[in-house]
Amino acid sequence: MTSGESITGGAPRTVRDIVCGFCGLGCDDLEVTVAGRAITPRTACPEAARLLARNDAPPPSPRINGAPSSFEEAAAAAAGHLKAARSAAFSGLGADLEGLRRLYDLAMASGASLDHAASGGLFANLERLARKGWIAATLAEVRNRCDVMVVFGDDPASAFSRFFSRAVPVRGEGADGDAAPLFVTAPGRRQIAVVGGPLSEASRRVLAAHQVTEVPVSEQDVATAASVLTALVAGRGVDGLTGLSDETVAALAALAEQIKAARYAVFTWNAASLPAEDAPVVAGAASEAVDVLSVTTRAAVFPLGGRDNVTGAHQLALWRFGYPLRTAVGAGTSRHVPELYSTAAALYDADLLLHTSAFRPDAPPDFDRGPVIAIAHPDTVFAREPEVFIPVGTPGVDYGGHVFRMDSVVCLPLQALRPAELPSVAEVAAAILVSFGRGA
């Protein structure tokens, strides 16, 4: 059966064509076996398999100060803490779009800052995008047109296990091999260059049919290497860009010639895996290279990201408030100051933390200046017991929903795989709003 069919019935069943909402890549061909409430992954990357797997154990109940409570009591307790707070911070924001809508309603009613746990890479990229813009590709464009791909930093598969098989498949091989790259002359063969850390053996196997070049560069030198490569593509001298060996510069010069000969070059990087001060430099260098190449050929950037629907949280914030994440809302106003309203900064002044993580059991950040409300995965282990813990189901496991893919152009539907015994984030936030005195 497919993920859109009935989830009722006690006999074990196979569910195919499942959309994954965890890393942002949006794979839509996962397969699991469901027996009762137990879920056993059959076709999935290691990360998705870990997060999809479920046993048949009953879920935990909500807790208030560590003591079991009813859902209604926990929602009322959370509302009471929010009413008493003067400077609340909402962190995590790991939820589907409907859950995010309700959380944003709650933030507007109570007054709070909003930030996603995976927003660090997003804001490193926004630093370039907001100042000068860029030309970006969608996943489909990369898959169907890219003939030369340049990766800056670590192997993307460390965070996005199936990136290479989804983005640059070999024609005719397996479920991912149905692409016919427009600008690739040899049958399915592309040029893949990694400027940074080494590829894993798994990635080398996936890329075995392509022409792969690795330019080893330390993490601290990735930004410099990206700037040197862009200068070489633009035909500028690189004497002022120091710190790289002659061998590395020569390898980058050879790569620059390959890029200039490309018909559709794509530059990709995971800003979240780069040093915070270097990620904007890499984004800027990649975008500048695309600007240079676009005069005579086609090129684009493809920034990696999207964990736990951070792209959806960003898009929804733009639509609701006119600002991205790291914005404080309340009393009919919104104020966007990224350096003040990142979670780490906001917690210095906050007197309450509301943390949401429905996709994975990620605990709230350390906070001891006031109460903690955790709307969280049932398997979450807390360093300090929150004042209110309300366990929630996972989108794409316990209930349906929608998430954005990392390229921001596709909103993907998630389907429930089993009957839900826990509320959704949207239901929890709505119940808190009712207890708060605002209609859901």
Residue 12 domain flag: no
Residues sharing a CB contact under 8 Å with residue 124, sequence separation 6 or more, in sequence order: 271, 272, 274, 276, 279, 280, 283
369 and 238 co-located in one domain: no
Residue 18 domain flag: no
Q: Quickly state the pLDDT bin for 238 (edges 50, 70, 90).
A: confident
Q: Quickly state the pLDDT bin for 2 (edges 50, 70, 90).
A: low
Whole-number pLDDT of residue 130: 86
Residue 420 has pLDDT above 80, yes or no: yes
Tell me what the mean pLDDT of segment 288-315 comes to: 97
CA distance linking residue 373 with residue 129, whole number of Å: 34
Whole-number pLDDT of residue 183: 67
CA distance linking residue 4 with residue 292, whole number of Å: 46
Q: Quickly state the pLDDT bin for 90 (edges 50, 70, 90).
A: very high
226 and 263 co-located in one domain: yes
Residue 4 domain flag: no
68 and 132 co-located in one domain: no
Q: Quickly state the pLDDT bin for 9 (edges 50, 70, 90).
A: low
The two tokens of residue 65 are 């100060």
Strand positions, DSSP E, 36-189: 38-43, 63-64, 67-68, 88-94, 112-114, 148-152
CA distance linking residue 157 with residue 345, whole number of Å: 30
We report the CATH number of the domain holding residue 180 as: 3.40.228.10
98 and 70 co-located in one domain: yes
Buried b (16+ CB within 10 A) or exposed e, 62-76: bbbeeeebebebbbb
Residue finishing a domain among 248, 278, 305: 305
CA distance linking residue 434 with residue 183, whole number of Å: 56
Q: What is the pTM of this model?
A: 0.93
CA distance linking residue 370 with residue 353, whole number of Å: 7
Residue 98 domain flag: yes
Tell me what the mean pLDDT of segment 174-198 comes to: 72
CA distance linking residue 425 with residue 397, whole number of Å: 13
Residue 10 domain flag: no
84 and 208 co-located in one domain: no
- In what side-by-side order are the strands of the sheet with 148-152? 211-216, 191-196, 148-152, 264-270, 298-304
Tell me what the mean pLDDT of segment 383-394 comes to: 98
Residue finishing a domain among 305, 320, 349: 305
279 and 362 co-located in one domain: no
Residue 188 domain flag: yes
The number of domains in the chain is 2
Spatial CA neighbour of 401 closest among 7, 17, 20, 16: 20
Length of the chain: 440
CA distance linking residue 190 with residue 148, whole number of Å: 6
**What DSSP designation does 209 have?**
T
What tens digit of pLDDT does each residue of 103-157 get?
Answer: 999 999 999 999 999 999 999 999 888 888 999 999 999 999 999 999 999 999 9
The per-residue pLDDT of the chain, averaged, comes to: 93
Is-contact 166 202, C-beta < 8 A? no
What tens digit of pLDDT does each residue of 268-279 get?
Answer: 999 999 999 999
200 and 213 co-located in one domain: yes
Q: Quickly state the pLDDT bin for 3 (edges 50, 70, 90).
A: very low
Residue 399 domain flag: no
The two tokens of residue 268 are 């990709």
Question: Do strands 30-35 and 38-43 pair parallel, antiparallel, or not at all (unpaired)?
Answer: antiparallel
Strand positions, DSSP E, 36-176: 38-43, 63-64, 67-68, 88-94, 112-114, 148-152
CA distance linking residue 39 with residue 30, whole number of Å: 12
Share of the chain above pLDDT 90, in %: 88
Residue 439 has pLDDT above 60, yes or no: no
Q: Quickly state the pLDDT bin for 4 (edges 50, 70, 90).
A: very low
What tens digit of pLDDT does each residue of 48-89 get?
Answer: 999 999 999 999 999 999 999 999 999 999 999 999 999 999
Is-contact 322 334, C-beta < 8 A? yes
Spatial CA neighbour of 396 closest among 414, 379, 412, 409: 414
Residue finishing a domain among 248, 271, 305: 305
Measured CA distances, 157 to 46, 143, 161, 256 (Å): 11, 16, 4, 24
Residue 55 domain flag: no
3-state secondary structure of 400: coil
We report the CATH number of the domain holding residue 101 as: 3.40.50.1220
Q: Quickly state the pLDDT bin for 323 (edges 50, 70, 90).
A: very high
Is the torsion defined by CA of 241, 245, 250, 256 positive or negative?
A: negative
230 and 312 co-located in one domain: no
Is-contact 288 235, C-beta < 8 A? no
294 and 201 co-located in one domain: yes
127 and 109 co-located in one domain: no
Domain interval for residue 73:
63-118+308-394+422-436
152 and 300 co-located in one domain: yes
Calculate ∠ Cα 49-52-58, nearest 5°: 135
The Cβ of residue 130 has, within 10 Å, a number of other Cβ atoms equal to: 10
Q: Taking the CA atoms of the chain, what radius of gyration do you get in angstroms?
A: 23
Residue 177 has pLDDT above 60, yes or no: no
What tens digit of pLDDT does each residue of 204-218 get?
Answer: 999 999 999 999 999
